[in-house]
Amino acid sequence: MLRPPAVTELMERSETVPPDERALTVARRLDEPGAESVVVVENGEVVGIVTESDAVALLVEGRDPASLTAAAVMSSPVHTVGPDESVVDAAERLRTYGVEALPVVDDGELLGVVTTTRCSQYLPHVRRPSVDADVNDGRVRETERADTAYEKADWSFEYVGHPERIDVGDVVRFSKPLDETEVDDFADASGDTNRLHLDGEYARRTRFGRRIAHGTLVAGVVSAALARLPGLIVYLSQEVSYLGPVDIGDRVTAECEVVEVVGEERYRLTTTVTDDDDRTVIDGEAVVLADPIPETA
């Protein structure tokens, strides 16, 4: 099983200020491009943190930042994360405490800051659920990724590699269950209404003895994994060998590893899919093109 990256692989350099720094100065630092937090340090010890939300709260509450210090507006005590902890640990802590940033601290020394934005580049499934539960029954999660429109609560995703680019050795995994509704919808959308996938009585008389998911539907999780590589991913080719059936309701997991750079922004990957019992049901290779992500409004 892949190990998620440590927080040190995606933490960012942190801006620091003393507790008596003017809040207005802190707010100006947060207004700089890419700045999401400022850590308050006193005598070498992390004592607080100020985020964009804290700056917005100043305005909403009508407080004058020119008359306040960092100590008056910072969040304290501070939730932190250790350098050996994983991005998954950090993401769960961010969600549990409802904070936007965690200082990475090693034996009291500030190393950097890990934020929800950086975590979402690796783990978009840890975003908070959409508030529009009446529409999607709480199953759809919002995403801040520019290349995917949404995530679902029963999907999982892991990317071990370079956050801004693709290189040999990078690995991406995507996992989801394939339920009966999805099988029925895929049959309608694709036109593949083979009764093996739709008719239980008919399927019992086949070599499989039960309904199974469409092979192409199963292979679709490979496409889902590749879509979560850095950049706008465009399929150029895919070779697929189907090694076994997938039962309806099984969770399938695609794992794709970059094994070769084959041209400018073109990459060859091995692609496999496993089922609930960790059996390989699909094996193959893909070649993809990684374009820059277009700007969105």
- The mean per-residue pLDDT over the stretch 260-281 comes to 94
Pick from 37-41, 117-121, 175-179: least confident: 117-121
- Token pair in block for residue 213: 């998911």
Please return the burial class of 275, using the count of CB atoms within 10 Å of its CB with bins 0-12, 13-18 and 19+: buried
User: Between 195 and 159, where is the model more confident?
Assistant: 195
* pTM metric for this prediction: 0.56
Confidence of residue 126 (pLDDT cuts 50, 70, 90): very low
Confidence of residue 240 (pLDDT cuts 50, 70, 90): very high
Facing residues of 270 across strands? 257, 285
Q: CA–CA separation, 38 vs 252, rounded Å?
A: 41
Question: In 222-253, which positions are buried (b, 16+ CB within 10 angstroms) versus exposed (e)?
Answer: bbbbbbbbbbebeeeebebeeeebbebebbbb
User: What ranges make up the beta strands (E) of the chain?
Assistant: 15-17, 37-42, 45-51, 101-106, 109-115, 140-141, 151-152, 156-160, 171-177, 232-242, 251-263, 266-274, 280-291
- The mean per-residue pLDDT over the stretch 125-134 comes to 38
**154-291 is a CATH 3.10.129.10 domain:** yes
Is 50 exceeded by the pLDDT of residue 193?
yes
Which of the given ranges, 6-20, 82-96, 170-184, has the highest pLDDT on average?
170-184
Angle at 27 between CA 58 and CA 70, to 5 degrees: 75
Domain ranges of the chain: 7-122, 154-291
Query: Which CATH architecture fits 7-122?
Result: Roll (3.10)
Is 50 exceeded by the pLDDT of residue 137?
no
Is 80 exceeded by the pLDDT of residue 120?
no
- The SS3 of residue 62 is coil
Q: Is 98 left (phi over 0), alpha (psi -120 to 50) or beta?
A: left
Instruction: Specify whether the CB–CB gap between 105 and 80 falls below 8 A.
Output: yes
User: Between 141 and 21, where is the model more confident?
Assistant: 21
Is 80 exceeded by the pLDDT of residue 58?
no
pLDDT value at residue 153: 79
Mean pLDDT, all residues of the chain = 83
For 123, the enclosing helix (H) or strand (E) is none
Q: CA–CA separation, 170 vs 181, rounded Å?
A: 33
Q: CA–CA separation, 273 vs 244, rounded Å?
A: 10
- The mean per-residue pLDDT over the stretch 281-287 comes to 95
pLDDT value at residue 251: 95
pLDDT tens for 63-109 read 666 778 888 888 888 899 999 888 878 888 887 788 888 999 998 88
